[in-house]
């Protein structure tokens, strides 16, 4: 079951595309916008993260950190980030623990792929409580960016 508004976000530590460990607790005192996405280099995932990239200026001065998370390897995410000029960290949940903890996880995805992140968005407040949670069942849908922005500001 997906995390719900009001619940404490589970702490995690994942490797980013620069092969450095990043923990949720690193951002205590900031809002954290987490976007889970199924797979790098796919159409809707690219649209989701490019929307964040293109509107990144919105988050400046709001004491907020954007993170992208998928089950892709850090090496795949490094190329994805480079190709698309993303200004925010991409984190590898290769072991699928964080996707499961947030309830953003497909046991089975297209092409019989097992263990893929669902498209989802969470906003975590400065005390690491969930203040926005959206887990999409259809990988073809995009998160509600306006609702996320309204919560963050």
Edge-first strand order for the sheet with 64-70 is 21-23, 13-16, 90-92, 64-70, 31-36, 120-124, 130-135
Give the C-alpha separation, 145 to 14, whole Å.
24
Residue the block writes with tokens 């649209």 = 47
Residue 101 and residue 110 in contact, taking contact as beta carbons nearer than 8 Å: no
d(CA 68, CA 137): 18
Of 13, 14, 24, 1, nearest in space to 101 by CA = 1
The encoded tokens of residue 115 equal: 């263990």
Active site residues: 45
Rounded distance between C-alpha atoms, residue 52 and residue 107, angstroms: 27
């Amino acid at each position: 079951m997906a995390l719900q508004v009001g619940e404490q976000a589970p702490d995690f530590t994942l490797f980013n595309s620069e092969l450095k460990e990043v923990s949720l607790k690193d951002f205590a005192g900031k809002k954290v916008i987490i976007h889970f996405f199924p797979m790098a280099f796919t159409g809707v995932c690219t649209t989701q993260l490019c929307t964040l990239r293109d509107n990144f200026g919105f988050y400046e001065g709001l004491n907020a950190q954007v993170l992208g998370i998928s089950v892709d390897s850090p090496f795949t995410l490094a190329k994805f980030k480079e190709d698309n000029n993303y200004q925010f960290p991409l984190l590898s949940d290769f072991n699928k623990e964080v996707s499961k903890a947030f309830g953003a996880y497909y046991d089975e995805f297209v092409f019989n792929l097992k263990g893929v992140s669902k498209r989802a968005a969470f906003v975590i407040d400065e005390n690491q409580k969930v203040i926005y949670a959206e887990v999409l069942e259809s990988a073809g849908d995009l998160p509600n960016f306006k609702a996320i922005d309204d919560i963050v500001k």
